Amino acid sequence: MTAVPPPFDPELAAALELIKDTISPSFTMADIPEIRQGAGIQLLAELDLTMEGAFDVEDRTVPGPADAPEISLLICRPVAPAASGPLPVIYHVHGGGMVLGSNRVGVDAPLAWAKELGAVVVSVEYRLAPEHPHPAPVEDVYAGLLWTAEHAKEIGGDPERIVIAGASAGGGLTAALALLLRDRQGPSVIGQMLLCPMLDDRNDTPSSHQMKGLGLWDRTSNETGWTALLGERRGGPDVSPYAAPARATDLTNLPPAFLDVGSAETFRDETVAYASRIWQSGGIAELHVWPGGFHGFDGFAPQAAVSQSARAAHTDWLRRVLAR
């Protein structure tokens, strides 16, 4: 039987129509160099990271994993925080399908949360696949979190109030980071925010088949990203949960999780399954499935009603987690 896709929200469908000629839902390994040089890179360079003067911005180079290069952290501190004393820290992991991006990708979202809630943002740069396959990306993310926890007070942050967050590939790496922190007995974090997360290298859920050729990240692109990260291991029996968190057999003792995803995107079913498995393990998870949402919809169509609801839910969860 043909896999019939769920409909896009009408406002989001209109936004997709506007960008369909510049962003394809499908790309292959051969397309990676061209996409890395795309117009989006220039737009990132022009992003006002100060949020109209609300943040002091610093690029800092810190130690990477053992026997690996140093990594870059983008550190954004409120200029005039409403509260005195150490501030909560949002540790951000950027998206890009494991093959694209920098620590400026998607950082406008955590900066908006931090501006409203009074927090420091630290966004980590990690090595990209296929040049740097697993475990390079997640080990860089882990090393950046270690530095952030150890130096939180130095950057005005509270080491006891760190939330880890990421979207798409960054969401998958954030989930993997939570597993690593638990298993290595690393610094504790008080929450993990997994936005449209890339969790499962097997790429064989009903939603991955339904959305083939549609939206902004389809089954072909997903295969490209996972193959870049894992090579011939992708989809096989020996994939580490620190590469693909959906492979984890133990989801106990993880920080409270927020997960959201669109109903009309490739990652829908693996995100719902991950939340369900956290609950089945006795953990805490809040799950939102936004009707008619495509991958990353709230960033591409922030004016849409469903996007505004999603963004309000993000901030509300963070506010509750930080108040605990």
Looking at residue 190, its pLDDT comes to 98
% of the chain at pLDDT higher than 90: 90
Contacts of 23 (CB under 8 A, 6+ apart): 216
How high is the pLDDT of residue 22?
A: 84
Has residue 178 got a pLDDT over 70? yes
Q: What is the DSSP letter of 201?
A: T
With residues binned 3-state (H G I as helix, E B as strand, rest as coil), the percentages for the chain, rounded to 5, are 40, 15, 45
Tell me how far apart the 2 most distant CA atoms of the chain are, in Å: 60
Could you please report the per-residue DSSP string of 94-110?
--STTTS--TTTTTHHH
Higher pLDDT, 48 or 128: 128
Query: Does residue 2 register a pLDDT over 60?
Result: no
pTM for the complete prediction?
0.97
Q: Say what the pLDDT of residue 21 is.
A: 82
Residue 301 has which token pair?
Answer: 């169509």
pLDDT band at 81 (very low <50, low <70, confident <90, very high): confident
* DSSP classification of residue 127: P
Q: What is the pLDDT of residue 1?
A: 42
Q: Averaged over 217-226, what is the pLDDT?
A: 97
> Are 118 and 87 within 8 A, CB to CB?
yes
**Overall average pLDDT of the 303-314 stretch:** 98
End-to-end CA distance of the chain: 48
* pLDDT of 38: 77
pLDDT value of position 11: 98
DSSP 224-248: HHHHHHHGGGTTSTT--TTT-GGG-
| Model confidence at 47: pLDDT above 90 | no
Instruction: Confirm if 248 and 255 have CB atoms less than 8 A apart.
Output: no
Residues listed for the chain: 324
Q: What is the mean pLDDT of residues 69-74?
A: 98
Q: Select from 174, 152, 142, 171 the least CA-distant residue to 88.
A: 152
Q: Is the pLDDT of residue 41 over 70?
A: no
Q: Average model confidence (pLDDT) for the chain? A: 95
pLDDT of 61 higher than 80:
yes
Mean pLDDT throughout 246-272?
98
Tell me the mean pLDDT in the region 271-291.
Answer: 98
pLDDT for res 42: 57
Name the token pair of 211.
């959305």
Structure tokens at 272: 């719902």
Please answer whether residues 176 and 245 qualify as being in contact, where contact means their C-beta atoms are separated by less than 8 angstroms: yes
pLDDT > 70 fraction of the chain, expressed in percent and rounded: 97
* pLDDT at 110 > cutoff 90: yes
Predicted confidence band at 40 (pLDDT cuts at 50, 70, 90)? low
Grade residue 77 by pLDDT with cuts at 50, 70 and 90.
Answer: very high
